[in-house]
Amino acid sequence: MTYQPFARARTGRIARHRPAGAPGRTHIGRAACTDPFARDLRRPSLTVNQARLHALLCAIGASLVLGACSDPSEAPGNAAPHDGALRFLDAPPASSTPAARVGDSVITIEDVRREARVRELSEDPDELQPGDPVFREALDALIDQRLLALEAARRGLQQSPEARRRLAAAEERILGNVLVETAVADGVTDEAVRRVYEEQARLAPPEQEVRARHILLESREAAREVLRELEDGADFAALARQVSQDPATRLEGGDLGYFTRSGILPEFARIAFATSPGEVSEPFETEAGWHVLKVVDRRAQPRPGLEAMRPSIVRFLTLQRIDALLETIRETYPVTITAGRAPGGLRRPEPGPVIDPQADEAEEAQEDPADPGQP
């Protein structure tokens, strides 16, 4: 699977996104990506399975709960002697500010902000202060978590083989995520984001879009009658409010807003893009019924700004960076998958039939000889 971060959504015959401030949706539209910049990203495709990379990104976020994002310079300098599985009991750095004490352990303000970031409780968790309700919510969650961990340690649960296996797996995952976070931070810079944005602006010219009104009717005869009234001077929007069978646009005078060729039913798009602004079409049929449409405007689709595209670009660069990192590491640590193999490698794929192209051509010639009378 290739990764196409700006690929347009195509989900069939469902409601199209409407412009801001326009209530209702029409059932003749298709779901379209909300950013007009959305075309297949014209950059080298990533080679690592997209789902696996997404899972890795999720693991990175989960690792923050366990402190994976701590600054290495904040490592405890006076850790109390205890079982290696109970590192959360290490004394915090001298520079940190305590937020709460649970038994003899300390939860710092930095711990609380990290928890708020992981749980997405705040848009700017680094600015949270102890008096903020969100800060208290994150702190309460950490206190509960610490209480449970302390009781588990008192009961000696960390000594069980299952607990040790799970703790070792968590440590392995977190350590790998710390490496990934460092590599991503080095590569996903403002300059890199801007470079991708400008490249896409150059490679993806803006798509044309049309704004139109339509009147939906049940039969050709009803559509022809509407067209006659329009030719006699009837107002299109007023007539749409009176007779259109499309409940999503009827009260708006049939206004569909702006749409691209791929953002609406193909047969509707064909007529709309062949009609000049200000003109009314002949009646035509789609799977929704019979239509008469009026094109209001035609324009190049506005391109979203850099800030609107930043999240998509950052995600693409992040996945690309992880892919490159994994490919480099694989050169150092060769991978051999042994699970699922037959013992001793005795089973082999059955050889397929050998096809001789020349023999096939000769056989076809015998089955369908050429007419000698033909040139």
How far apart (Å, rounded) are the C-alpha atoms in residues 206 and 226? 35
Mind listing the pLDDT tens digit for each residue in 74-106? 433 333 334 555 677 776 776 789 999 999 899
For residue 235, give the 3-state DSSP assignment. Answer: coil
CB neighbours of 46 closer than 8 A, spacing ≥ 6?
A: 2, 3, 53, 319, 320, 323
Note the pLDDT of residue 237: 97
**Largest separation between any pair of C-alpha atoms in the chain:** 102
Q: What's the one-letter identity of residue 222?
A: A
Residue 291: burial class (beta carbons within 10 Å; 0-12, 13-18, 19+): buried
- What's residue 242's pLDDT? 96
- Categorize the per-residue pLDDT at 313 as very low, low, confident or very high, splitting at 50, 70 and 90: very high
For the chain, helix (H) and strand (E) counts, in that order, are 10, 6
Gap between the Cα atoms of 254 and 239, Å rounded: 9
Structure confidence at residue 251 (pLDDT) = 95
CATH code of the region 207-300: 3.10.50.40
Residue boundaries of the structural domains of the chain: 68-155, 207-300
Condensed to tens digits (0 to 9), the pLDDT of residues 176-203 reads 988 888 888 777 889 999 999 999 888 8
Instruction: Give CA–CA dist 329/324, Å, rounded.
Output: 9
* E-only strand ranges, the chain: 98-102, 105-108, 208-217, 255-259, 284-286, 289-300
Q: What is the pTM of this model?
A: 0.47
